[in-house]
Amino acid sequence: SQQGEEDPQALSIQEGENATMNCSYKTSINNLQWYRQNSGRGLVHLILIRSNEREKHSGRLRVTLDTSKKSSSLLITASRAADTASYFCATDQYSGNTPLVFGKGTRLSVIA
Amino acid sequence: GAVVSQHPSRVICKSGTSVKIECRSLDFQATTMFWYRQFPKQSLMLMATSNEGSKATYEQGVEKDKFLINHASLTLSTLTVTSAHPEDSSFYICSARGPGGASGELFFGEGSRLTVL
């Protein structure tokens, strides 16, 4: 089953602009992760934010987590055409040996 | 970091045949592995949890007799799509927890794209 929703489902921006994607989830979590997937390819792990963290940065990526609202956002600054991909959030409950549960994803298109 | 390897990365088969996909943890032991399926332009959906030495646990709506899972060793889980049909064409991805057991990081294989003609 899927944990929650991501919005927008699709996002198209110009190169150089910032892209913001949101993710909501339903259950308590230990951490939330963001992945990128190019068309027809495997997953690339971008960033992990733990439940006791509120914000995390990695290069041009900024992730926030609001556990009270059960939501997270991924911001990509100064986007590039190469950022065009699908982005998924995934939650990890750490409750026993549980799998990651993925959101529906956002398809980002960055136009040069 | 820990590595999970899948094989084959791509497979094309005729309708009615069976296809086996392997998922290996290369440098760690994984008592549990997870199998996901991803249809075009959709997200990853958990199919089943593969447990070493015991039966797999299937998600609701996934036919256990069609998607046979064998986890015979601590480093290998296999998914066999039996009597494949075109609607089984999908991207199949496995994952496993790295060292640290239930609190270890989850690692993903590169995925296997199945096309059933």
Tell me: the pLDDT tens digits for A66-98? 999 999 999 999 999 999 999 999 999 876 678
Bond into B8 cis (ω within 30): yes
Task: Map residue A82 onto helix, strand or coil.
Answer: helix
CA A65 to chain centre: 11
Largest CA distance in chain B: 41
Q: Does B27 touch chain A (CB under 8 A)?
A: no
Which pLDDT value is given to residue B106? 84
Contact call for A103 and B43, based on CB within 8 A: yes
Q: Does A88 touch chain B (CB under 8 A)?
A: yes
Mean model confidence pLDDT for chain B: 92
Which pLDDT value is given to residue A1? 46
Which pLDDT value is given to residue B1? 63
3-state helix, strand, coil in chain B (%, to 5): 5, 50, 45
Question: Which residue(s) pair with A56 in the sheet?
Answer: A63
Q: What is the mean pLDDT of residues B3-13?
A: 95
With beta carbons under 8 A apart, name residues in chain B contacting A48.
Answer: 105
User: Angle B111-B115-B117 (CA atoms, 0-180°, nearest 5)?
Assistant: 170
